[in-house]
Amino acid sequence: MTLGTASSSPSPVESAIALLGAARRIVVLSGAGLSRASGIPTYRDADGLWMSQNALQFSHAEDLQRDPKGFTRFWARRLDTVEAAQPNPGHTALALLQRLRPATRLITQNVDGLLSIAGGLDVLELHGSLRRWRCDHCGNRRGPWPFHRCMRCASRARPDVVMFGEMLNHGVLHDAQMAAQESDLFMVVGSTAVVYPAAELPQLAMSRGARLITLNMEPLPHLDAAASVVLRGAAEVLLPQLLAGLQA
Ligand SMILES: [Zn+2]
């Protein structure tokens, strides 16, 4: 501490850097807040694509049968948005964290694939990815998907995301739970972590003794009280600061 500094207690960012530096197994659970700076609309944005009438019409897998053309058009447009987006400094910082600490696991609720594009490895995508399509009719998961149709059976394909009313991919969920249990530091980034299974993962980690860091624009009343460090702000600003501190 330099002379004249009012307080000798470390800032939240400094405390988080110290925790990251001491951790052996880090898990980062990210949500919509991580991708906001990349221009990906979130579920909660009132003017976001998700809350539009279209989104409500096409968020169940059965909607493909009800209105095949509308369904394909809606999801193809969503994919266009995602494909036009670039990773932001938050995504890049998390990929770098994994380089620095190879035991780090990245879990995300986002379906935009931006963590992988930023260089993240083995990203656990809880809700799947808009960048993959699949055919529910014959089970085909391999493209190409001309006009979003299956090459094998010519049925209409659907994005490989978890839609409302559908189960999560069991293997991905299991890997995420294992990673949480084995972690000694769990960080929640840009996620309210109130929806299952995202709500369960930090609790699972803490029940095994992991410390918790929350990083979010808004308070997370159910998590902040249990957190060792609470970081309030934008992921694309704070995550690069953590990385810089860790590399220093
Ligand atoms: Zn098929």
pLDDT digits (tens, 9 = 90+) for 39-96: 887 654 444 445 566 677 888 888 999 999 999 998 998 899 899 999 999 999 999 9
Concerning whether 127 is annotated as a catalytic residue, the answer is: yes
Binned at pLDDT 50, 70 and 90, residue 188 comes out as very high
Would 114 be classed as within a structural domain?
A: yes
Would 140 be classed as within a structural domain?
A: yes
Do the annotations mark residue 153 as ligand-binding? yes
Residue 5 has pLDDT above 90, yes or no: no
> 3-class SS at 224?
helix
Would 14 be classed as within a structural domain?
A: yes
Instruction: Give the domain range for residue 153.
Output: 41-84+132-161
Average pLDDT (210-236) is 96
**157 & 243 share domain:** no
Would 68 be classed as within a structural domain?
A: yes
Binned at pLDDT 50, 70 and 90, residue 215 comes out as very high
Of 115, 107, 68, nearest to 191 by C-alpha is 107
Would 2 be classed as within a structural domain?
A: no
Do the annotations mark residue 30 as ligand-binding? no
Would 217 be classed as within a structural domain?
A: yes
Tokens found for residue 208 = 């095994």
**216 & 144 share domain:** no
Report the CATH number that the domain containing residue 97 is assigned in CATH.
3.40.50.1220
| 50 vs 199, more confident | 199
- Give dist(CA 217, CA 36) in Å, integer: 11
- Compute the distance from residue 144 Cα to the ligand 1 centre, in Å: 12
Average pLDDT (25-38) is 96
The whole model's pTM is what? 0.91
The alpha helices in the chain, defined as continuous H runs, are 12-22, 32-35, 53-57, 63-66, 68-84, 89-100, 114-117, 170-182, 200-207, 221-224, 235-247
- Give dist(CA 59, CA 71) in Å, integer: 9
Q: What is the pLDDT of residue 116?
A: 97
What value, to the nearest 5°, has the Cα angle with vertex 115 and ends 101 and 112?
160
Q: Is the Cα dihedral 114, 210, 7, 216 positive or negative?
A: positive
Do the annotations mark residue 68 as ligand-binding? no
For 88-142, how does the pLDDT look when each residue is reduced to its tens digit (9 = 90+)? 999 999 999 999 999 999 999 999 999 999 999 999 999 999 999 999 999 999 9
- Compute the distance from residue 156 Cα to the ligand 1 centre, in Å: 8
- Compute the distance from residue 41 Cα to the ligand 1 centre, in Å: 30
Q: What is the pLDDT of residue 8?
A: 75
Average pLDDT (5-24) is 90
Report the percent of the chain where pLDDT is more than 70. 92
- Give dist(CA 55, CA 48) in Å, integer: 9
Would 222 be classed as within a structural domain?
A: yes
**94 & 192 share domain:** yes
Give CB contacts under 8 A, 24+ apart, made by 64-73.
Answer: 64/136, 64/156, 64/158, 68/156, 71/156, 71/158, 72/147, 72/148, 72/156
**189 & 114 share domain:** yes
**199 & 77 share domain:** no
Report the CATH number that the domain containing residue 150 is assigned in CATH.
3.30.1600.10
User: Among 91, 127, 148, 170, which one carries the catalytic annotation?
Assistant: 127
Looking only at the bridges linking them, the beta strands covering 185-189 and 26-30 are parallel
Would 236 be classed as within a structural domain?
A: yes
- Give dist(CA 172, CA 160) in Å, integer: 13
- Compute the distance from residue 66 Cα to the ligand 1 centre, in Å: 18
Q: What is the pLDDT of residue 42?
A: 63
Do the annotations mark residue 138 as ligand-binding? yes
